[in-house]
Chain A
């Protein structure tokens, strides 16, 4: 696919991601539907397969999942030109999604550290604690059943359960477990 990006287009791409940044409560992935609406349906800067691959690759790679936004910008740039345009697109999208929320997070972190002895601040952090623990377990379970909840997926669930118990109860290095998962999957058991 080949598209033309004018400076005004880059600006509108940047502004869109700057806005989305402040809506990413619960992670950048929660704004993916809106990115799809904007990039694929409304502007036609990205194809459907490029959109899906951007998310899948970033999920499979190490690092924060937010990197998928960088890949989207990379692909928009590739569609509009060569590798240098792609790199520019990457900076526009990733920078756009990260900078506003990060400035806010920094201000909040400094404020809450200065006020860490205030009863309302301590109460907030302690009151949220059981939710945080439950959210972690919930996120893991939702990820484990993301590809389907039928009984034919039992090998994947067994891997999830074994990995959870080993990490919980032993000090085994996480990369061994990920490697084992990759091998079992590549052999076709999952």
Chain B
């Protein structure tokens, strides 16, 4: 399986890709260790902006699939990307990179937590980092907006669907499944038509 996938990738114009399974593991480890309060913002910056392993458009598309599937979204995205380059071994290595070192950090924090749980400085620092992390995720969304210009359903429809999604989630707090099923279904139909 991995051999055929590689052959297809080689036929495309040359573009950056992980050099080896080790490169994949190290890259995902470093990426995960930067991801306080969520890894997504870091994934976008590292894989799209710095390494160029995915374009903005590819990132959005794969993220859509990762979001629809059960499972942690970032883990699903790691599987997709790892599998793309090295088959099932790539998927395993990418997930291992994403989880192993952060898990050790989490355990260390859990052991330390008992001592500092009551400190107002620690609680304040966590709140401050949480506020920054929220900003990082908003910025990730803002940075991906230009990619919608190339969308098959056209920019105006993208804006309408995006605004409706925003209102459904932020204002009405509708369950994600409803929103993805309803508005996502509409988007699917329009994009399908636009791709003719």
Whether a CB of chain B sits under 8 angstroms from the CB of A44 is no
- Bound CA span A38–B184, Å: 33
Contact of A181 among B1, B64, B132 (CB under 8 A): B132
Chain B, interface residues (CB within 8 Å), range: 35 or more
- A98 adjacent to B195 (CB under 8 Å): no
- Bound CA span A68–B144, Å: 28
Q: Which residues of chain A are within 8 angstroms of B95 by Cβ–Cβ distance?
A: 98, 102
Q: Name the 10 nearest CB pairs between A and B, nearest first.
A: A63-B102, A185-B128, A101-B71, A163-B135, A136-B141, A127-B187, A140-B138, A123-B192, A181-B132, A128-B64
Query: Binary interface profile of A, 15-57, with partner B (CB < 8 Å = 1, else 0)?
Result: 0000001111111101000000000000000000000011011
Whether a CB of chain A sits under 8 angstroms from the CB of B3 is no
Q: Which residues of chain B are within 8 angstroms of A1 by Cβ–Cβ distance?
A: none
A residues near B, CB below 8 A?
A: 21-28, 30, 53-54, 56-67, 70-71, 74, 90, 94, 98, 100-102, 104-106, 108-110, 112-113, 119-120, 122-144, 146-147, 156-157, 159-168, 171, 174-175, 177-178, 180-190
Q: Which residues of chain A are within 8 angstroms of B159 by Cβ–Cβ distance?
A: 130
13 A/B residue pairs, CB under 8 Å, sorted by A: A25-B68, A57-B109, A60-B126, A71-B107, A101-B75, A106-B91, A122-B195, A123-B195, A133-B60, A134-B161, A135-B141, A135-B169, A142-B169
Q: Which residues of chain A are within 8 angstroms of B7 by Cβ–Cβ distance?
A: none
- B68 adjacent to A167 (CB under 8 Å): no
In the complex with contacts A57-B113, A185-B129, A122-B70 CB distance below 8 A: no
- B79 adjacent to A109 (CB under 8 Å): yes
Query: Binary interface profile of B, 49-84, with partner A (CB < 8 Å = 1, else 0)?
Result: 100000001001101111111111111100110011
Contact of A130 among B34, B35, B162 (CB under 8 A): B162
Q: Which residues of chain B are within 8 angstroms of A185 by Cβ–Cβ distance?
A: 124-129, 131
Query: Binary interface profile of B, 161-196, with partner A (CB < 8 Å = 1, else 0)?
Result: 111011001100000110110011111111110111
- Bound CA span A160–B132, Å: 5
Q: A132-B63, A171-B49 are in contact. List 10 more A-B contacts (CB 8 A).
A: A27-B73, A58-B106, A63-B33, A101-B75, A127-B186, A132-B60, A136-B138, A137-B138, A156-B127, A189-B128
In the complex with contacts A25-B69, A62-B105, A74-B110, A136-B79 CB distance below 8 A: no
B residues near A, CB below 8 A?
A: 1, 5, 32-42, 45, 49, 57, 60-61, 63-76, 79-80, 83-84, 88, 91, 95, 98-99, 101-103, 105-107, 109-110, 113, 117, 120-122, 124-145, 147-148, 151-153, 157-159, 161-163, 165-166, 169-170, 176-177, 179-180, 183-192, 194-196
Q: Which residues of chain A are within 8 angstroms of B142 by Cβ–Cβ distance?
A: 137, 164, 168
In the complex with contacts A109-B83, A112-B65, A167-B135, A143-B130 CB distance below 8 A: yes
- B5 adjacent to A181 (CB under 8 Å): no
In the complex with contacts A70-B103, A130-B187, A163-B131 CB distance below 8 A: yes
Contact of B151 among A56, A66, A130, A137 (CB under 8 A): A130
Q: Which residue of B lies closest to A158 (CB)?
A: B131
- Bound CA span A44–B36, Å: 31
- A138 adjacent to B124 (CB under 8 Å): no
Q: Which residues of chain B are within 8 angstroms of A22 by Cβ–Cβ distance?
A: 70
- A128 adjacent to B187 (CB under 8 Å): yes
- A64 adjacent to B152 (CB under 8 Å): no
- B88 adjacent to A106 (CB under 8 Å): yes
Contact of A104 among B35, B69, B135 (CB under 8 A): B69
- Tell me how far the C-beta of A54 lies from the nearest C-beta in chain B, rounded to whole angstroms: 8
